[in-house]
Amino acid sequence: MTREWTRGVMTGAGPSMAEYRAALHRWLDAHHDELAPRYAPPGTLDEQMAQMQRVKSILFDAGWMRYGWPEPVGGLGGSPMLRTELGATLAARDLTDPGLFSLIEVLAPTVIDYAPPALAAEVVPRLLSGAEMWCQGFSEPGTGSDLASLACRAVPDGAAETATTWIINGQKVWTSLAQYADRCVLLTRTGTAESRHRGITAFFVDMNTPGISVAPLEMINGVHEFAEVFFDDVAVPAGRMLGELHGGWAVAMSILPYERSSCFWQRIAYLYRRLQILVEAAPADDRAAEIVGDAFVQLHALRARSRQTQHRLAGGATLGAETSIDKVLVATAEQATYDAVRRLVPGCIETGDDLAAEMWRSEYLYSRAATIYGGTVEVQRNIIARRLLDLGGDE
Amino acid sequence: MIDPVERALLAETVAAAIAAAAEQPAAAVDGALAELGWLEMLAAEPADAIAIVFDALGSTNAQATALDDVIVHALGLQPHPGLAVVFPPFAAWDPPGSVGNGRVQARGLASARATTASELVVVAATDREPCAVVVPAASARITTVRGVDPAAELRAVDVDTGIDTDGPAARIPVPWDGAVALSQRAVAHQIAGATRAMLDLARLHARERVQFGRPVARFQAVRHRLADALVAIEALDATLAAAADAPEPETAALAKAVAGRTARTVAAHCQQVLAGIGFTTDHPFHRYLGRTMLLDGLFGAADALVLATGRRLLAERSVPTLIEL
């Protein structure tokens, strides 16, 4: 791979970013056959997972999977925008599903920032190169939007400060890809039941540890993307603690900047690709023009907003409550995009039985969750009202 | 680009000067802008000058005739207070004029400047690029538009006058698309300022108005309306930043489309939250409502722009990304 442009792109802005993008596109064009899915899209989840890991492996060997990641964990350094651009490009080319691919962004940064350095150096390259899959054990049956109420318990074998092992009991749910995962970034209750965000501790748990069982859940589109995960006296070494004892809330919150920037940018690229497919198939009348135009205007505003967020993050800003605006915009635009499909290709989602219809149906149904996962839009509006509009508490 | 600190200071100065003249006729606001060196700013740093001045016009609900200068500047002519422009009719953005048979004809809108200016710029569509024709203001029929917002001092203009169509000065080829784009950005900034002001009014009211023993700001239904208003405004700001970073006709048109929609969303939520008081002329909300209804129609109403955008996507069977990281 040519390296002249890499020095310039390390700041991740300006013309050098355009050079990185151009080089990436040239490389992907040249390796198209090697990277293309081996199945007719949309494929099963098993096929999509195998495709993603294969693509990651090829891209890791070629170096692309390593840009934007720190050198101590196998990266080549540079702005995180480089990896964002890669994920977006893969989504725009339908090489990987961004929902699966961008999980890296909610897992790897946490481990890099909070795991013992030797552990991060060992495991992060395995995630990036497709040798492993990880999952995120946050939500519980009683813990949806209110994450601080989680109950999955971790108890030390002896005094908490000197414990060598922690015993975990409890249940997680909505854990994406748990059945494929080798590891789990897990939030546990280590304080009193009432300690809320002050009594949570994060662990990095091997999924093959005795006592862990996984029961995939079927979503409304028929895909088993997420699962219930049960922990029954699961012993985890103290060296697998992420961050401080009772410091799990900070670990959980550290994910927000990446989830709300990089993941969204990849999702946006994917939505543009979906609108492109729709525009190729839609009738060329004014009703269609209004519907397509409406979805496009929403996507453009979202893209403009997300772009600002990426640049703020790359410029060293701490992202916070204002990313709730990005979240509302992405959820709304995603549903608008699939609503446009439903309106412009009547019967396709409802009665179509070919592969294209299967894709639209699956994705349309999945898009209904866009206003729910990652914090419902109602929770986002509460955050906006309290933190950005200074409307005070709502009790 | 002006550096951020300097820009913030300038924005503060401009906003204060415009606010001081905001309740007065457009001529007074124009005077304040002239004192601030508006035309020099426009010539030196057009993007920043437009953003700062039109945001301030929007947030103070002041009306000036600075849009005439923006268009004249973008057409490559020399702006001055004696030169007014015929805007396209409400909701449209095509050149408002036509030339032929030794005459120039145009129908459109104009600012208050049309009444005091000595000359009017008419941009006419031709079979090649659009041309500007400068006609004596006295040759036009200019009437006052009262409409939903008389304080905006909008004019309706009807031009039908003879010209020497073969004369070298009569027909000047002009970059109309560029002028439309810059005008759309200016008006969208004005709408952005106005929607922020509407939200501020509604926030203040929600925190102070007590019903059922507590401020109405405590009610989630109220909070969510105001949150959605902020989401819309922030999205508009982002599209304006995108239009500045990637200054193309497409990004400007999209910013204007988003502005028109944002105005509708924000006005609806804020008016509902302001409830009874927002329905009276005692409260300033109504001025912003009327102003944004007018501004939506200048250089492309949201609905018309969305339709045109959709038609283009379908004609080209292509969805452009327009802005990159």
AA letter at B219: F
3-state secondary structure of A4: helix
Q: Beta partners for A237?
A: A165
Contact yes or no for B306 and A279 at CB 8 A: no
B105 close contact with A: CB closer than 8 A: no
For A45, the enclosing helix (H) or strand (E) is: helix A45-62
- Cβ-contact B52, B7 below 8 angstroms: yes
pLDDT at B169: 52
Q: Which residue do the tokens 């318990």 mark?
A: A153
| pLDDT in the model for residue A2 | 42
> Which tens digit of pLDDT belongs to each residue from B136-170?
999 999 999 999 999 999 999 999 999 875 655 56
CB burial readout B7-26, b (16+ within 10 A) else e = eeebbeebbebbbebbeeeb
Contacts of A322 in chain B (CB under 8 A): 234
Q: Which of B320, B291, B300, B294 is nearest to B59 (CA)?
A: B291
Which residues in chain B are contacts of A384 at CB distance < 8 A?
227, 230-231
3-state class of B110 per DSSP? strand
Average model confidence (pLDDT) across chain B: 95
Q: What is the pLDDT of residue B165?
A: 58
Q: Compute the average pLDDT of residues A253-278.
A: 94
The strand pair at A212-217 and B83-85 is best described as unpaired
Q: How far is B29 from chain A (nearest CA, A)?
A: 31
Does the pLDDT of residue A117 top 90, yes or no?
A: yes
- Minimal CA–CA distance to B17: which of B5, B35, B3, B2? B35
> How far off is chain A from B322, nearest CA to CA, in Å?
8
Interval B300-325 mean pLDDT: 97
Distance, CA of A26 to CA of A15 (rounded, Å): 16
Pairing of strands B131-136, A165-176: unpaired
Q: Which residues of B touch A329 (CB under 8 A)?
A: 231, 235
Q: Would you call B5 an interface residue with chain A, using a CB distance cutoff of 8 Å? A: no
Q: Decide if A279 and B313 are in contact by the 8 Å CB cutoff.
A: yes
Contact B218 A288 (CB under 8 A): no
- Listed residue (A313, A259, A318, A267) closest to A138, CA to CA: A259
Q: Sort residue B322 into left (φ over 0), alpha (ψ -120 to 50) or beta.
A: left
Count of residues making up chain A: 395
Rounded to the nearest angstrom, the minimum Cα separation between A301 and chain B is: 5
Is A279–B254 a contact, with Cβ atoms under 8 angstroms apart? no
Torsion of CA A162, A167, A173, A176, to 10 degrees: 70
Distance, CA of A26 to CA of A47 (rounded, Å) = 26
Secondary structure letter of residue B102 according to DSSP: T
- Residue A240 CA: distances (Å) to CA of A120, A183, A184, A315, B260: 10, 11, 11, 31, 53
Task: Give which of A332, A323, A340, A325 is closest to A368, Cα–Cα.
Answer: A332
Q: How many CB atoms lie within 10 A of CB B91?
A: 16
Shortest CA gap B56–chain A (Å): 21
Q: Is B8 on the interface with A (CB under 8 A)?
A: no
A131 falls in which pLDDT band (50, 70, 90)?
A: very high
Residue B115 pLDDT exceeds 70? yes
Instruction: Please give the pLDDT value at position A5.
Output: 45
Q: Check CB contact under 8 Å for B325 and A286.
A: no
The whole-number pLDDT of residue A393 equals 86
Q: What is the pLDDT of residues A8-32, one digit of tens each?
A: 445 555 558 889 999 999 999 999 9
Provide mean pLDDT across the span A338-360: 96
Closest CA to B184 of B259, B261, B294, B267: B259
State pLDDT tens for residues B184-240. Answer: 999 999 999 999 999 999 999 999 999 999 999 999 999 999 999 999 999 999 999
The packing angle between helices B220-245 and B249-278, to 10°, is 160
Q: Residue A290 catalytic?
A: no
Find the catalytic residue in A259, A334, A358, A363.
Answer: A259
Backbone angles phi, psi at A160, to 5 degrees: -60, -40
Predicted pLDDT at B101: 86
How far is it, in rounded angstroms, from Cα B141 to Cα B156? 8
Q: Which residue is associated with the tokens 């996962």?
A: A373
